[in-house]
Amino acid sequence: MREPRTAPDAPRSPSPWAIVVALSVAATSVSFMQTLVVPIQNHLPELLDSTRSATAWVLTVSLVAAAVTTPISGRLADLWGKRRVLLVLVTLLILGSLIAALSQGLWWLLLGRALQGVSMGVIAVGISILGDLPDRKLSVTGIAFVSASLGFGGALGLPLAAWIVQVGDWKTLFWSTMALGVVNLVVVWVTVPHSPGTGRHVDVIGALGLGAGLSGILIAISQGPVWGWVSPTTLLVVLGGVLVLGVWVLFELRVDEPIVDLRQFALRPVLLTNLGATALGFSFFVMEVAYLQILELPAHTEAGLGLSMIDASMALVPASLAMMAAAPVGARVTNRYGARTSACLGAFVGAAGYGVTLLWHDEVWHFILASTISCVGVAIAYAAIPTLIMAEVPRTATGSAVGVNALMRSVGTSSGATVTGMVLASQVVVVDGTEVPVLAGFLTTFAFGAIAALACMVLVWLSKGRSKVV
């Protein structure tokens, strides 16, 4: 009698470590989108034959699209299946990069950048996939790597983008990200297993309302310095966003299957942890903006250290490498002492980095040291916060929960960039006919960064709830 076929011929499940690596690479690739156009931002008006205020949208549209669509992507992952939504997001990265690479004017470039921004949902969906891994230690380690990639990809992207522009045409930036997208699509297809969704109804009206309301507020925050904070345009846009969100909240509370379950996210542990993520995002982006500026200002100014864009970007590379190196350390602390302790420790270390620059800010190595310390802390805290969030929500809602957490972090980063810009712009002197920030302005922003990190620590510690991760 013929022997039945046995296990060796059965399809093998992907290695859990292969899933971690695939999602970490994908997250790093989409994080690259944050800083992709920074090296060419000042040249875009002449490259696109447009005004500086118009070309500022090339950076803004990607950040706003990412913030608005990430919670929606997370919810769709819960409903339609996480692998399916992940593949769609990577495909949008490829499509957006292709449109931007072929663009012949500003509007097509903005469309491509918006689609690239939407692909940032890969990080939230990837974290929720890793949260489903049966091995808790591996799950926490994977989440740590993917969370750290947010800063790692953005920081490493600066010198890489500057180098790509130097050796080739500026459109090479987008051809490069398209190639990255294709690689990621293949890797995700091969390694990430199928995950069924709940198959429930999609709250389309809620998604549109959330997108419209958030867009108004985030656009006002990012464009306020250009339009003027009390200009009719800024006030109208922010007021419109607030009104839309107010109506959206009332609508979501009456819907059986909302795009965001507000009652769940109003629970004290989830709410305070998300507010802590906002504070941490604020703290992280203060460093990204202020450190680069002080490194690049001419050496004959009060605060400047006189580095070129590439050299200043390279000075922050050790910090980005430290973020990835700190990820497994953060995972180990979380597994041993709990995610809350890990997040608080990371926030405290992040604040300590700013303490270095408050005391010493005269040499390049001062900022290399300070940024490395802060980024180690941010990496540890970023790794722990999603674990805290997912411990408080049902397994069928982890994608949505992580998406909202990513949104709160984006609100923090946008606010950090805006407040830093406002503080530096308010304390300037004229040098060689140009207004440059004074040292006192930079010290004020460093103090804000430290305070925000400490606020994160306090909020997360006070978020103790019913979760098993304490």
Whether pTM > 0.85 for this model: the answer is no
Residues with Cβ within 8 Å of residue 258, at least 6 apart in sequence: 203, 206, 252
Rounded to whole angstroms, the Cα distance separating 125 from 131 reads 10
Give the mean model confidence (pLDDT) for residues 308-332: 86
pLDDT by residue (tens digit) across 403-413?
888 888 888 88
Tokens of 294: 């002080």
pLDDT in the model for residue 12: 56
Distance CA 450, CA 411 (A): 18
The predicted structure's pLDDT at residue 405 = 87
Report the C-alpha gap between 106 and 110 in whole angstroms.
6
pLDDT band for position 469 (50/70/90)? Answer: very low
The pLDDT value recorded for residue 2 is 44
Q: How confident is the model at residue 292 (pLDDT cuts 50, 70, 90)?
A: confident
Is the confidence at residue 116, as pLDDT, over 90?
A: yes
Q: What percent of the chain has pLDDT over 70?
A: 94
Instruction: Please tell me the predicted confidence (pLDDT) of residue 9.
Output: 44
Residue 184 has pLDDT above 90, yes or no: yes
Highest averaged pLDDT of the listed ranges 209-213, 297-301, 342-346:
342-346
For residue 165, how many C-alpha atoms fall within 13 Å in the half-sphere facing its CB? 19
Residues 369-419 have pLDDT tens digits of 999 999 999 989 988 999 899 888 887 778 888 888 888 888 888 788 778
Q: Highest-confidence range of 25-34, 106-115, 314-323, by mean pLDDT?
A: 106-115
Residue 189 pLDDT: 93
User: Which whole number is the average pLDDT over 186-206?
Assistant: 82
Q: Which of 177, 164, 178 is nearest to 32 (CA)?
A: 177
166 or 207: which carries more pLDDT confidence? Answer: 207
- Cβ-proximal residues to 364 (8 Å cutoff; 6+ apart), any chain: 295, 305, 307, 315
